[in-house]
Structure 1
């Protein structure tokens, strides 16, 4: 019988580029399907649709997206992301020499994982040790998400997990306003435009500068039923945003971070999945391989949407959702991955005919609404 991992398209994204697709045995696709069923979508298929749109495929110790690498350390394996414009300079600082892939690999092999992680955290690099995160009990999903028509979702998040959550709440009827700042647009805008359209079609786009438009920002938050953010608490404090005060006023505040709000640590979908142990063990015993495409991101988006829908029925609260915990809840041990003879290719949903709004398209209209509210 074909496993859910294989039928979802995940096997095609797992393994060496010149080897067979692999099934690592994790129950990731089943968990995504459960959360998706509560939301009325095919959750397992959502895990692979970015790869379907970009045409990227499995690359062994290099992530599907190409920005993360699995590197052997003196006592194990680490996942290191180089996803931001400043990251190459930070990697040069990490190894103390002009960065190259060869030099980085050599440097990692002579250091313990703990030393690499500590130095990386000081520099703000996204580095994890494979399997470092404990495995919690699998999260639960509600039986069904209610009709959310009339609910207002204010989305400060970026990239994949938070925007996917907002997208799913929008499919359930909520109105979504995406908020960006003038100097920090969503980095996903510079990726595949079809994927961005898929997640943001039908939303409104607002650009606000917290330094000069704090009153408007606060007014928008007061009207929100749900706030989604993926920033570390100290960054929110600089904007004057207080999650617990908003929750006390009745807002559901969803905070999506790599390792939890108390952990001042950077992480992206691939390195966080590796930290959770969501990797494939090479059948030839050569170490871990990436599985899927940044799986901690879409898994968290699905799970978080279910949590928000549950929370709306109870009233205001802060939901602290750690991507590592969500990913780890779908891991099923570390047995060698099973090669499969045939793996269906990832599939994407139909791209909406209405594209995502340009940055700030709706700022004036939303500000006018706030002024008359």
Structure 2
């Protein structure tokens, strides 16, 4: 059987070994599907990847294969230290889209607030999810004002900028933006390369691909651009559903496989460090995009790697960095451990939810003045992530409120926060400035890591920063729905479980960019090609190697009593 299961399993063993010396992943995995491409098609996330008027894209399937292994590792470790958690990877990635009835938008995010813009040397993702972001467009471009449609102005102006310069300029003004790293490009799709369809790599083109002229920004802008006032929740499902499904008359495409602190602080993470909503190995990233080699100044001493053996997967990076903040506790378990969740939106709450399912007691802490931003959207999304959690609201602006928060953090076995390091320091909660109880695990979620606290990130642009995109006819398209958020959530849960299994006493620095980068560098698939064919109102993926096919499924709506 020609699969890459052993390679992805080796990646997960390395990840686990970076936090604990367990051999829990030593026995072979027997539950993985034969073909990650067919699993990707069934997940609901493939249906969210690609142009709205074209075939869904196969190319991120290797990353999905790595996610399957991540979910298997989480199941095995939770079974050792608590209740086994069998998470559904497809539901993790596409559950929000199922609730909100989102569809793929190609170079527009599924939620509608972000775009991939062609620049003079590549591609840049920009997210205008808030009115402040829209209002910042003139300053980003150095203009006095822009027209009624800021996207039209940005799209035209982007071609005069390099991707890095445009992203840096937007970040300077607090607008989430990211350049697609050079290492992410297929060889024939490198900026400036000649790109005739017969020269594109198999994973980056579809047969009978549309011509470059037909895909020009001007030709597509009217259909692709939502009005400024539209939110993801408010976008018309009917208007997009017709575009999302193929017509019977379309020809088949052939696509071979690709080789927060409590809400006040959480709002900072979303805009200033990482949530709703990161790219190839560090040695191939441009200097500005390389993961930091150390943590922020308020971190403590580094954790020695339990195993002295060299990495089995030197070309595939780990999504987290760790530091020792307290002594470990032998025999620690998740059952009954107290998790204080100060995060908001998606990644942190997803981590907390998975830990709760494993047996931990989760206390959700929000600011009385700035509740979790997820409450502003469809309430089912918030309920999906927080079902069964204890919830409390604290006023961080009062001495009594701050003392309550400090008590909660001091007594917690696991702390989940997603804010700038300085925000926690202002509350007297910086992990490097306090004494931690033995075995305490501190999970710090950011957009770009604690060493780059000023950069903001949302799930879609963080994925681009990490190089995790799909490829359609030589051009990048967004992968899934804010995919760096749920990937970070499940990786965070795995990291915390590994830390507990190893006795705890660690600070885990986990960024959305590093997470996306880890999945973007997943071991390449070892069989193919795979064909994506139209079948009436559906798309079907065929795997000739295994003689099987799979209909591309739309995102499912999760149960509100848990992610089963």
Aligned equivalent of 1:134: 280
Gaps spanning 5+ residues in structure 1: where?
Answer: 354-373
TM-score with structure 1 setting the length: 0.86
Q: Secondary structure at the match of 1:270?
A: helix
Q: Counterpart in 1 of 2:125?
A: 79
Q: Does 1:59 align with 2:88?
A: no
Q: Is the 8 A contact 2:163 2:180 kept in 1?
A: no
Give the match's secondary structure for 1:329: helix
Counterpart of 2:357 (choices 164, 171, 179) is 171
Q: Which one has a bigger Cα radius of gyration?
A: 2
> Matched residue of 1:23: which SS?
coil
1:325 matched to which residue of 2?
A: 514
Given candidates 146, 170, 186, the residue that maps to 1:98 is: 146
Aligned to 1:221: 409
How far did 1:81 drift? 0.8
SS at structure 2 position matched to 1:71 = strand
Structure 1 position 91, deviation (Å): 2.1
Separation of aligned partners in 2, 1:340 and 1:122: 41
Q: TM-score if structure 2 supplies the norm length?
A: 0.58
Matched residues, number = 346
Q: For 1:169-206, what per-residue CA distance to the aligned partner results, in whole angstroms no more than 9, with x for missing partners? A: 01111111111112322111112211111101111222
2:43 — aligned with what? 8
- Whether 1:345 and 2:554 are equivalent positions in the alignment is yes
Distance (whole Å) between structure 1 residues aligned to residue 505 and residue 433 of structure 2: 10
**d(CA) in 1 for partners of 2:403, 2:560:** 36
Q: Once the 2 structures are TM-superposed, how far is the Cα of residue 139 of structure 1 from its aligned partner?
A: 3.7
Residue 278 (str. 1) matches residue 468 (str. 2): yes
Distance, in Å, in 2 between the alignment partners of 1:218 and 1:312 is 22
Check the 8 A contact 1:158/1:187 in 2, yes or no: yes
Report how far residue 3 of structure 1 moved.
2.7
CA contact (8 A) 1:69 1:79 kept: yes
1:269 equivalent in structure 2: 459
Q: Once the two structures are superposed, what CA deviation does each residue of 1:216-246 show, in whole Å capped at 9, x if it has no partner?
A: 1111111101111111111222222112345
Q: Is residue 26–residue 331 contact of structure 1 (8 Å, CA) maintained in 2?
A: no
TM-superposed deviation, 1:108: 1.2
- Note if contact 1:135-1:276 (Cα within 8 Å) is conserved in structure 2: no
Deviation at residue 76 of structure 1 after TM alignment: 0.8
Structure-2 separation of matches of 1:6 and 1:201:
29
Q: Matches of 2:385 and 2:487 in 1, distance apart?
A: 15
Q: Secondary structure at the match of 1:86?
A: helix
Quote the Cα distance in structure 1 between the aligned partners of 2:432 and 2:403: 18
Counterpart for residue 207 of structure 1: 393
**Residue in structure 1 matched with residue 166 of structure 2 by the alignment:** 116
Distance 1:85 1:316, change over 3 A: farther
**1:255 alignment partner, one of 427, 439, 444:** 444
Supply the distance in 2 between the matched residues of 1:197 and 1:165 (Cα, whole angstroms).
14
Secondary structure of 1:48's aligned partner: helix
Conserved 8 A contact 1:147-1:173:
no
59, 63, 68: which one pairs with 2:114? Answer: 68
Of 247-256 and 320-329, more deviation after overlay is shown by: 247-256
Residue 235 (1) aligns with residue 438 (2)? no
- Aligned partners of 1:57 and 1:317: how far apart in 2? 39
Aligned pairs for 1:40-59 (under 5 A) are 40-59=86-105
Q: What is the root-mean-square deviation in Å for CA atoms of aligned residues?
A: 2.4
In structure 2, the gaps of 5 or more residues are 1-34, 76-85, 183-278, 283-315, 321-331, 534-539, 541-551
- In structure 2, C-alpha distance between the alignment counterparts of 1:332 and 1:11, rounded to whole Å: 18
Q: 1:33 to 1:182 in 2, by over 3 A?
A: same
Distance change (3 Å), C-alpha of 1:312 and 1:247: farther
Following superposition, the deviation at residue 44 of structure 1 comes to 3.5
